[in-house]
Structure 1
Amino acid sequence: MKKYTYILLVFITVLSGCKSPEARRPVTQKSGSFINESIERNRELVAREEAEILEVIERDSANEYFASNSGFWYYYNKRATDPSNTETPEFGDVVRFDYSITDIEGQVIYAEGEIPTRRYAMDKEELFGGLREGLKLMKEGEVVTFIFPSHKAFGYYGDKDKIGTNLPIRTKVTLHSITEEEQPRN
């Protein structure tokens, strides 16, 4: 009898050990509310900055502003002197330019000459998004002032020096030269 009890006990143990594995449930479950709240905060920030920028533009009757397709505004301080020149920088072209930065009310952040003349290979090097897109609109010899909302400028982090968090900026850019990318020889 002991033998049958022992076999029955082993048989029950084997059957109970062959249970299929169950998926473990997470300790905490996220509802996605943080992401939704973040999206809403960013929408409000963009709307507030755009309203502030449009108010500045409305007060400035001396300049004719243009809205770019990339989400910033600009006006020409000096247009290209040669009307037949329609060349704007393209991918890989090297541009040489100077720029200065103020807040949108005109308070100087980086004065003219404080930032050294920059050589930049279009879309191949690091440059904040708004300026990268703005350079593509310029011709050699032009001076253009751009107004960038913070998400087109330095965003949440700023430049970790003089430009703070979520600060819309005004950037005056002088494009000195455009050098076409050299094609490799076969």
Structure 2
Amino acid sequence: MLLFKTFLTGILLVSLQGCSKKVEARRPITATTGSSIQQSIEKNKKLNAAEENAIENIIKNLDEKFERSANGFYYTFVKKDSIVGVHPKFGDRVTFEYDVVSLNGDTIYKKEELSPITKSLDQEYGIFRGMRAALKLMKTGEELIVFFPSYTAYGYYGDNNRIGANTPFKSRVRLLGITVEK
């Protein structure tokens, strides 16, 4: 019985002592600085500059005159409709076809493998960023040749199939139809 009372007294003292201590915040084992983020930013800037330089070197040797869009891709109209028509806007459904060709000319996807596609321009997961912007430049029946740097296309992840990470490419895009949403 004495042993039991001593045991209970010991537990009581330990628990009271634990309550009287001030709780201190735990400190991280390692402190990180912004240097790794800055290194990543610098690496991406160099990658983007190299991709744009490669694209500019290709298009300067072509007969067509390419424009650089505000979104970062380069394009030229193969077929342009001079008649007044409507350009698709955010929320409209578009039907289009395109192919994917590497910068060195290897076909990654034939248009028959990908097309036709009907998607809403507000579906972020359905159309990559550069393609959404390119489609907004077009009217039904028009056709573009577009060079997409990787940051306007599939970026760091690729398409999880044939387009690898950080892969710029060329596409021939044709807008087949627009369904204007109210």
Question: Please, what TM-score do these two structures have when normalized by structure 1?
Answer: 0.82
Amino acid at match of 2:71: S
In structure 1, the gaps of 5 or more residues are 1-13
* Residue of structure 2 in register with 1:177 after alignment: 177
* Residue of structure 2 in register with 1:73 after alignment: 74
Mapped contact 2:96–2:115 kept (Cα < 8 A): no
The count of corresponding residues between Structure 1 and Structure 2 is 166
When structure 1 is superposed on structure 2, of 120-129 and 159-168 the one drifting more is: 120-129
Deviation at 1:111, TM superposition (A): 1.4
* Residue of structure 1 in register with 2:94 after alignment: 95
The change in CA–CA distance for 1:21 and 1:57 in structure 2 (over 3 A counts) is: same
Quick check: 1:32 aligned with 2:28? no
The change in CA–CA distance for 1:90 and 1:146 in structure 2 (over 3 A counts) is: same
Distance 1:158 1:117 in 2: 21
Q: What is the 5 A alignment of 1:4-153?
A: 18=20, 20-60=22-62, 62-80=63-81, 83-125=82-124, 126-153=126-153
The change in CA–CA distance for 1:162 and 1:134 in structure 2 (over 3 A counts) is: same
Instruction: String of CA shifts for 1:144-163, please: whole Å, max 9, x gaps.
Output: 01101011111121112111
Amino acid at match of 1:156: Y
Question: Please, what TM-score do these two structures have when normalized by structure 2?
Answer: 0.84
SS at match of 2:177: strand
SS at match of 2:133: helix
SS at match of 1:146: strand
Mapped contact 2:143–2:172 kept (Cα < 8 A): yes
Distance 1:124 1:154 in 2: 15
SS at match of 1:113: helix
Mapped contact 1:56–1:105 kept (Cα < 8 A): no
Distance 2:115 2:23 in 1: 64
In structure 2, the gaps of 5 or more residues are 1-15
Mapped contact 1:76–1:142 kept (Cα < 8 A): yes
Instruction: String of CA shifts for 1:68-112, please: whole Å, max 9, x gaps.
Output: 0111100111111xx232410012111111111101232211113
Distance 2:24 2:129 in 1: 48
Amino acid at match of 1:41: K
Distance 2:84 2:103 in 1: 31
